[in-house]
Amino acid sequence: MTAGESHGPRLTALIEGIPAGLSLLTEDIDGDLARRQRGYGRGGRMKIETDKVEITAGVRGGETLGSPIALTIVNRDHQSWLDRMSPAPMPATPEALTRPRPGHADLSGGLKYDRKDLRDILERASARETAARTACGAVAKKLLAAAGVTMFAHVRSIGEVDADCPPLSLENAADLAARARASDLSTVDPEAEAKMREAIHTASHAGDTLGGVVEVCALGLPPGLGSHVHWDRKLDGRLAQALMSIQAIKAVEIGDGWAGARRRGSQVHDPIAYQADTHDFVRTSNHAGGVEGGMTNGAPLVVRAAMKPIATLRRALGSVDVHTKEPFEAAFERSDIAAVGAASVVAEAMVALTLADALLEKFAGDSMTELLRNLSGYRSQLAAY
Ligand code: EPS
């Protein structure tokens, strides 16, 4: 669970269910927070914030205790918003924001929560909240890494510029991950990165914004996370929910996704083979993106999410003032032009949280010792199958 408004005092996150004995340092989290902040096309706010996590509960001497973990991230910008965003009553009522931006939560949230100052909605709806999710995701990734699962995310496209990316394999995964990490726009293709920058620059000059597609990959997952027996336990459904919940995400696909709908079954399903030396059932291709029947199948997980262009436009679209009911151009507040690289880091966090949940559901354990013993017992069971 996260709490916090964009220009409020701080973001807070509570994580429950991490077993005792997982090594956890602020450095494990701060790297991802920094990655989420970077990228050409981010707005002025990112020059104000330098996100660092403070761990305030659930960890002692660098190890988790099995109790709820509390994380906080200070909003430095709050200092400039004390007259408008203080939790305590303010000396003067702040001027109400009454011009909802098309594409944002402003109007629907104002109607639903009966708030006449739309700032009450936009402050929480803001993608600032994803800093807290990123921090939680870093903890989930630490848990997954202890279980032998590695992950990375990268940007597949921004606007109409596609990155050239070879199909993921066990051999090229580390190289792709390193390339994405080294890239300011989190993409594995330097030529595309230059074109993406150009596209962002051009959109910015036109007072416009851009979206894109991000991809998250996870390797080392045992088969059988998730379930085929109940719709709400299917891993693909849970991944879709987690990714779709990220601000501005409008579509999610696993493996071949939408493209598979145009092909024949023989081109879409992955043949099964047996690898005698490792006692593993393997797939000779990975169109399924590592999920079949709502469960991991042991192949790399590949999931993508599409981000719409950011809703706050300098060249504003038509809107209506909720107070006067007169048409106005929507309010412009400082904004990003494109935040697809940031979305890739958040997507990685949301996939990590979903996978960590599924891992704990199957293998449980109050301590890491217990969790890893359960996992190792399962792996022995698979080898003897
Ligand atoms: C956001 C608007 C901008 C973004 C913000 C998300 O913030 P501000 O209104 O302060 O200029 O920079 O993103 C973040 C603060 C962040 O940490 O990602 C919005 O309206 O969603």
Tally of residues, the chain? 385
Task: Determine if ligand 1 sits within 6 Å of the CB of residue 127.
Answer: yes
CA 149 to chain centre: 17
Question: What's the confidence (pLDDT) of residue 317?
Answer: 87
Using the mean position of ligand 1's atoms as its centre, give its distance from the Cα of residue 111 in Å. 22
- Could you give the CA distance from residue 233 to residue 367 in angstroms, rounded to a whole number? 24
**What's the whole-number mean pLDDT along residues 21-37?**
98
Among protein residues, the one whose CA lies closest to atom 16 of ligand 1: 128
pLDDT tens figures, 158-211: 999 999 999 898 899 999 999 999 999 999 999 999 999 999 999 999 999 999
**Does the C-beta of 248 come closer than 6 Å to ligand 1?**
no
Provide the strand spans (E) within the chain: 2-3, 10-15, 53-57, 59-60, 63-64, 69-74, 150-158, 161-162, 212-219, 249-254, 272-275, 280-283, 291-292, 295-296, 301-307, 318-320, 327-329
For residues 105 and 121, the answer to whether their CB atoms sit within 8 Å is yes
Q: Specify the residue with its C-alpha closest to ligand 1, atom 21.
A: 126
Residue-averaged pLDDT of the chain = 96
Q: Is the distance from the beta carbon of residue 124 to the nearest atom of ligand 1 less than 6 Å?
A: no
Q: pTM score > 0.95 for this model?
A: yes
pLDDT in tens, 298-343: 999 999 999 999 998 888 789 999 999 999 876 666 789 999 999 9
DSSP letter for each residue of 308-324: PPPS--SSPPEEE-TTT
Q: How far is the CA of 232 from the centre of ligand 1 (A)?
A: 32
Are residues 312 and 248 in contact, defined by beta-carbon separation less than 8 angstroms? no
For 242-272, the pLDDT digits (tens) are 999 999 999 999 999 999 999 999 999 999 9
By alpha-carbon position, which residue is closest to atom 3 of ligand 1?
A: 335
Tell me the backbone φ, ψ of residue 329, rounded to 5 degrees: -80, 140
CA distance 295 to 312: 38
For ligand 1, whether the C-beta of 98 sits within 6 Å is no
Distance from residue 124's CA to the centre of ligand 1 (Å): 11
Which pLDDT score, from 0 to 100, does residue 312 have?
Answer: 87
Among the listed ranges 58-72, 131-145, 310-324, which one has the minimum average pLDDT value? 310-324
Contact indicator for 280, 265 with CB cutoff of 8 Å: no
Cα 213 to ligand 1 centre (Å): 19
pLDDT in tens, 66-96: 999 999 999 999 999 999 999 999 999 999 9
**Rounded mean pLDDT of 46-65?**
97
Q: Whose CA is nearest to atom 10 of ligand 1?
A: 45
Sheet holding 53-57, edge to edge: 2-3, 10-15, 69-74, 53-57
Query: Nearest residue CA, atom 14 of ligand 1?
Result: 128
Q: Is the pLDDT of residue 126 over 80?
A: yes
- Sign of the alpha-carbon dihedral angle for 6, 140, 39, 107: negative
Query: Which residue is closest in CA terms to ligand 1's atom 18?
Result: 128
Question: How far, in Å, is the centroid of ligand 1 from the Cα of 87?
Answer: 19
Determine the Cα–Cα distance for residues 339 and 127; give it in Å rounded to an integer: 10
Q: Of all residues in the chain, what percent carry a pLDDT higher than 90?
A: 94
The number of beta carbons lying within 10 Å of the beta carbon of residue 259 is 12
133 ligand 1 Cβ < 6 A: no
pLDDT of residue 40: 94
CA of 45 to the centre of ligand 1 (A): 6
| Ligand 1, atom 12: closest residue by C-alpha | 45
285 lines ligand 1 (CB under 6 A): no
Task: Give the pLDDT mean for 106-120.
Answer: 97
State the distance from the centre of ligand 1 to the C-alpha of 3, rounded, in angstroms: 15
Ligand 1 atom with minimal separation from the 247 CA: 21
User: Is 3.60.150.10 the CATH number for 2-383?
Assistant: yes
Task: Tell me how far the alpha carbon of residue 127 lies from the centroid of ligand 1, in angstroms.
Answer: 6
Produce one character per residue of 366-381: b if its CB has 16 or more CB atoms within 10 Å, e if not.
eebeebbeebeeeeee
Binding site membership of 150 for ligand 1 (Cβ less than 6 Å): no
Chain centre to alpha carbon of residue 66:
24
Buried-exposed string 267-287: b where 16+ CB fall within 10 A, e elsewhere: ebebeeeeeeeeeeeebeebb
Please report the pLDDT score of residue 331 as a whole number: 63
